[in-house]
Structure 1
């Protein structure tokens, strides 16, 4: 990204954290990385796990692997997740996202 003063380079790690925070705002979506049950709530330690940023000149995308809560309408919740991640990343970084790919890996019950 160039501006009149110089070049601005935003790290993949920064975009990953922003995407993780945005994902954590969506009810019924969980990261996949707890050693006991395979799920956990998003927190500072695991906010970026299961998220991969792919930056290139031709295509900018984010891949997110999640678990979802049993009983939610997966298509509508995942759409909300995609829109929130796209909006937040673009707003904070100025990087235009072309794809937010979400991989639902597990369904969990509220008691897990």
Structure 2
């Protein structure tokens, strides 16, 4: 589970105030950016997130863990990929997509984006089930 401490962005030079971004917001941005990458079948969460989704609540941060550090944010993302894709290329695309989305939307400092490939999804055709 992510820490409850929010990310502090640098204060504006005109001193309008402080901007804080919740780790849950970072999880959602990273999760949505990862699902947009071609070759990603799904994000993989734990048992608790699967139960929550079955009860009807969509969890866009599923499979994403955010850790706050002094050097920036560290993101751990767990995915299942489609069969036949290049795992290293898709993993790099996930890292790049998350980095760009977070830079564009939050401008936070990123320490690391670690991609964990937990499975491969084989295509199920109607012919194979017959």
Partner of 2:20: 9
Higher fraction of helix: 2
Mark the runs of 5 or more structure 1 residues left unpaired by the alignment.
Answer: 39-43
Q: Between Structure 1 and Structure 2, whose CA radius of gyration is higher?
A: 2
> Number of aligned pairs?
105
Higher fraction of strand: 2
Mark the runs of 5 or more structure 2 residues left unpaired by the alignment.
Answer: 1-8, 51-56, 126-130
Q: TM-score, normalised by structure 2?
A: 0.73
The runs of at least 4 aligned residues of structure 1 exceeding 4 Å deviation read none
Q: TM-score, normalised by structure 1?
A: 0.84
Query: Cα gap change, 1:89/1:66 in structure 2, threshold over 3 Å: closer, same or farther?
Result: same
Task: Provide the C-alpha distance between the structure 2 equivalents of 1:47 and 1:111, rounded to a whole number of angstroms.
Answer: 25
Task: Provide the C-alpha distance between the structure 1 equivalents of 2:26 and 2:46, rounded to a whole number of angstroms.
Answer: 22
Structure 2 matches for 1:1-112, cutoff 5 A?
1=9, 2-3=11-12, 4-29=15-40, 30-33=42-45, 45-111=58-124
Q: CA deviation at 1:32?
A: 2.1
